[in-house]
Amino acid sequence: MKIKHEINAIFTIAARDFTKLIRDRARIFATFMFPIIFIGVLGGSLQANLGKQVGYNFLTFVFIGVLGQTLFQSTASGIISLVKDRETDFSQEMFVSPISRYSIVIGKLLGESLVALTQTVGIILFAIIARVPITFLDLAKLIPFTLVVCMLGGAFGLIVLSNLSNQTAANQLFPFLIFPQFFLSGVFSPIKELPPILFVLSRITPMTYGVDLLRGVYYWGKPEYAKIVILNPFVNLIIIGVVFAVFSSIGTLLFIKNERNK
């Protein structure tokens, strides 16, 4: 009965996060607006000015980068929203209910991964409208790996969450940690060749491996592979697995310890 109770709690927390997305019109609107800005405007501009010189389509390049960035960022920010959940609304009761803190973390990770995957529908729809040269077969290849990127983002969010004490700290710190990753991970531009300092920063940026994984899967067997992909997808999967294990285990332990000390 105890296990069944915890499983029910996990799915209830996950379903609540998905329901919150459906009711949040501003978040849904942003889901469609960001692809227009990043893929349509930025990707289109880069393709028009640099596409012929680099030898591959920049719209596709940026599309896959934005897909990885959205999966990572959405899951990470959703996990960090547990800081807010501690302080406000119905979820305050969740922290005093007789369920394991592990169940809260797992339910939140599952729910925010589902939210992130739902948000990518807007990106794919816009890519179709903008005629990004990508086939449904290419998208089908990426689907199994989108969840991997969500898990990576969730683990990153968890390790950040475990070191935050309140919502103000979260609002101040998270943008500082996430926005530089847009550029260091190569969402909008290639990062195979970088100055030494940027090279090191890029390689210690978690988002880099999620974005590179999706690009590695997409460009596998294509002529552009060697120009774009940093690491073999199998190597990326190993690195992501190690990062997820370390971040999620340490983050969960610290989160539970902090909750017990409240």
Give the predicted TM-score (pTM) of the model.
0.84
Can you give the three-state secondary structure of 184-247, one letter per residue? Answer: HCCCCCCCCCCCHHHHHHHHCCHHHHHHHHHHHHHHCCCCCHHHHCCCCHHHHHHHHHHHHHHH
Task: Determine contact, residues 154/82, Cβ cutoff 8 Å.
Answer: no
For the chain, give every domain's residue range. Answer: 2-260
Averages of pLDDT over each 10 residues, the chain, 262 residues? 66 70 66 65 56 69 88 85 64 56 74 80 77 82 90 89 73 83 86 87 93 93 87 94 90 73 56
* Alpha-carbon span 99 to 101, nearest angstrom: 7
Q: Please state the separation of Cα 95 from the chain's center in Å.
A: 25
Task: Determine contact, residues 202/194, Cβ cutoff 8 Å.
Answer: yes
Q: Give the per-residue pLDDT at 27.
A: 64
* Alpha-carbon span 43 to 60, nearest angstrom: 8
Q: Give the per-residue pLDDT at 213.
A: 95
Q: What is the DSSP letter of 88?
A: S
SS3 content of the chain, % helix, strand, coil (to 5): 80, 0, 20
Q: What is the DSSP letter of 166?
A: S
Q: Give the per-residue pLDDT at 25.
A: 67
Cα Rg, the chain, nearest whole Å:
19
Amino acid identity of 101? Answer: R
Q: Give the per-residue pLDDT at 145.
A: 93
* Residue 168, C-beta contacts closer than 8 angstroms, at least 6 positions apart: none
Q: Give the per-residue pLDDT at 211.
A: 94
| Burial grade of 160 (CB within 10 A; 0-12, 13-18, 19 or more) | buried
Q: Is 257 left (phi over 0), alpha (psi -120 to 50) or beta?
A: alpha
Q: Give the per-residue pLDDT at 110.
A: 81
Torsion 33-65-164-172 (CA) sign: negative
